[in-house]
Amino acid sequence: MIIGIDLGTTNSLCAYYGDEGARVIPNRLGKPLTPSVVSIDGQGLVLVGETAREYGLMHPDRTASVFKRFMGTDKKYMLGGRAYHAEELSAFVLRALKEDAQAYLNEEITEAVISVPAYFDDKRRKATKRAGELAGLKVERIISEPTAAAIAYGLYEKKSSTRFLVFDLGGGTFDVSILELFENILEVRAVAGDNYLGGEDFTELLVNEFLEKNNIPEDALSLRELGRLHKEAEAAKRAFSDSDEVSIAFSYNNENKELHISLKDYETLCEPLLEKIRRPVQRSLSDAHIRLSEIDEVVLVGGATRLSTVHNFIVKLFRKFPDTSINPDEAVALGTAVQAAMKERNEAVKEVILTDVCSFTLGTEVSVERADGSYEPGHFMPIIDRNTVIQTSSTQRVRTLYDNQERIRVNILQGESRFADNNLLLGSMTVNVPKNAAGEEAVDITYIYDINSLLEVEVKVVSTGDVKKQVIKGKSNDMSEAEVSRRMEELSYLKIHPRDREENRLLLLKGERMYEECTGNTRMKLDFRLRRFEEALSSHEHEQIEDARRRLKEQLEEIEKSGNK
């Protein structure tokens, strides 16, 4: 079976297509979401998900999160003395999801469809694919998250002929996409977004407000303290769903510090972030040449759309209530499962043809003429505009600038800035041209962008007909197959903490943290329960383990409820 995976910034999840349609696969803890958090513990075991998040509260230096933001970049994370790229950390998450899916479905899983933000460029898509390979998964297809969400809403719900706006605010990224479903063609009309905006920013607002109101400089807190404060702020943010005022309590230098904040004040703090949401929405509409009133459905994706401030803003912005019939956390994963079923030619799903757009403008560097006739270099000339449906090709002619010029250099750029330097250089080519008077010689530059987001550049010298071609395969950090298998072998020495013992490990970690946080009698009672549980675990007696686990759980819940920390 091919499974579908939503590899998220904050949480990841997987789904499969079974007899009853697309279904989310619960992880070993019985939960649909696995936090995209990775730790390497003292014994060199890899922890993933909730256990890693819990471990991270005590060992932030051995824990990484939100690494999806740096997928496909050279950024390295040092965990337990070794460096990892974002794609390698993602591979650990994928490995855990794969193992949990195998246990749940009771079969070996070797293939997957993985989703990525529409805004991910080629380099990031390739890094995601490699993460899958490093996890031992053949990646059948990389699919854009909004496309997956639209598939979940459009096909799963058997709607036809609909214009969707998919509003996806996850933990760290924001994507807006406009898609049109007509019969069996799902066409992406436009995508826009912000790779540096997400639910975490809404949490940070509360962290900063807390520090400011209590006169605590941010750098006064240790990583561990910051982690704990962040956890409190996250809970407060979520509490706004049910109340008009929330509070954060946090002990700092043995003093209890607090923040009480009303929803109204929080909304004021959120204004600059909400303003940042507006821009990509407008840009996607204008790129798609669609008016707001022509959108049939606004579909919400990503956990941060649950935040009441964001939800209310969406209702006001679109002047309609969004469709929330599918859980915003699950829509993308369900869509990837439907796409996986299509790949398997499952007869229960109708085949759709997906068309995508290129998310960035592709162009070249040129000199432009000043009023006095001289030339100013460094300008960007677009060749393929962003949001053009792929596959596509387009040609622009560039002339020689001075007499007897012998060569023309073509810089291949991606981005939206007027200036070449501000855009990303993907590659360059140089062609020879016959000596001639300025402007008499020219080259035709053709960009061909295929369905897999591979760009082919063709430069033709107009006077001689000479042609030079180059396929742009992304940046140099592309690994060869041999490198992937070498790295895979290296990573396979790192054992994932046995997933079937996940719940016990999590409970122990939680207990240890709470032990540190509480005092007095509570602390002693907790110590007793922890010891009993450890003894039970080493006895390997099933009943004894169950009993000690239940008692420890009850004790932890009691402490959490009473707030004795």
Q: Does 98 contact ligand AMP by CB under 6 A?
A: no
The residue within the footprint of ligand AMP, chosen from 80, 303, 363, 511 (CB under 6 A), is 303
Distance (Å, rounded) from C-alpha 310 to C-alpha 318?
12
Closer residue to ligand AMP, CB minimum distance, 33 or 134: 33
Q: Does 200 contact ligand AMP by CB under 6 A?
A: yes
Closer residue to ligand AMP, CB minimum distance, 121 or 329: 329
Task: Write the CB contacts of 323 (distance below 8 Å, at least 6 apart in sequence).
Answer: 153, 297, 298, 299, 300
Q: Does 356 contact ligand AMP by CB under 6 A?
A: no
The residue within the footprint of ligand AMP, chosen from 117, 132, 170, 335 (CB under 6 A), is 170
Q: Does 193 contact ligand AMP by CB under 6 A?
A: no
Cβ-closest position to ligand AMP: 199
Closer residue to ligand AMP, CB minimum distance, 164 or 167: 167
Give me 502's structure tokens.
């996940």
68 is catalytic: yes
Smallest gap from Cβ 40 to ligand AMP, in A, equals 23
Q: Does 9 contact ligand AMP by CB under 6 A?
A: yes
Smallest gap from Cβ 304 to ligand AMP, in A, equals 4
Q: Does 53 contact ligand AMP by CB under 6 A?
A: no
Sign of CA dihedral 203, 206, 208, 214: negative
Choice among 54, 87, 133, 145 that is catalytic: 145
Question: CB–CB of 11/172 below 8 Å?
Answer: no
Whole-number Cα distances in Å, 15 to 35, 110, 557: 15, 14, 30
Q: Does 31 contact ligand AMP by CB under 6 A?
A: no
Closer residue to ligand AMP, CB minimum distance, 8 or 60: 8
Distance (Å, rounded) from C-alpha 484 to C-alpha 553?
42
Q: Does 154 contact ligand AMP by CB under 6 A?
A: no
Q: Does 4 contact ligand AMP by CB under 6 A?
A: no
Neighbours of 435 (CB within 10 A): 12
DSSP3 helix / strand / coil % (the chain, rounded to 5)? 40, 30, 30
Residue ranges in 263-302 that form contacts with ligand AMP under rule CB under 6 A: 302
Question: CB–CB of 443/398 below 8 Å?
Answer: yes
Choice among 41, 54, 68, 194 that is catalytic: 68
Eight-state DSSP code of residue 26:
P
Smallest gap from Cβ 267 to ligand AMP, in A, equals 14
Choice among 140, 168, 175, 187 that is catalytic: 168
Neighbours of 84 (CB within 10 A): 22
DSSP per-residue codes, 89-137: HHHHHHHHHHHHHHHHHTS---EEEEEE-TT--HHHHHHHHHHHHHTT-
Q: Does 398 contact ligand AMP by CB under 6 A?
A: no
Smallest gap from Cβ 305 to ligand AMP, in A, equals 8
Distance (Å, rounded) from C-alpha 237 to C-alpha 308?
9
Question: CB–CB of 47/21 below 8 Å?
Answer: no
Closer residue to ligand AMP, CB minimum distance, 9 or 361: 9
Q: Does 125 contact ligand AMP by CB under 6 A?
A: no
Give me 449's structure tokens.
């962008």
Contacting residues toward ligand AMP, per CB under 6 A: 8-11, 170-171, 198-200, 203, 234, 237-238, 241, 302-304, 306-307, 329
Residues catalogued as catalytic: 6, 68, 145, 168
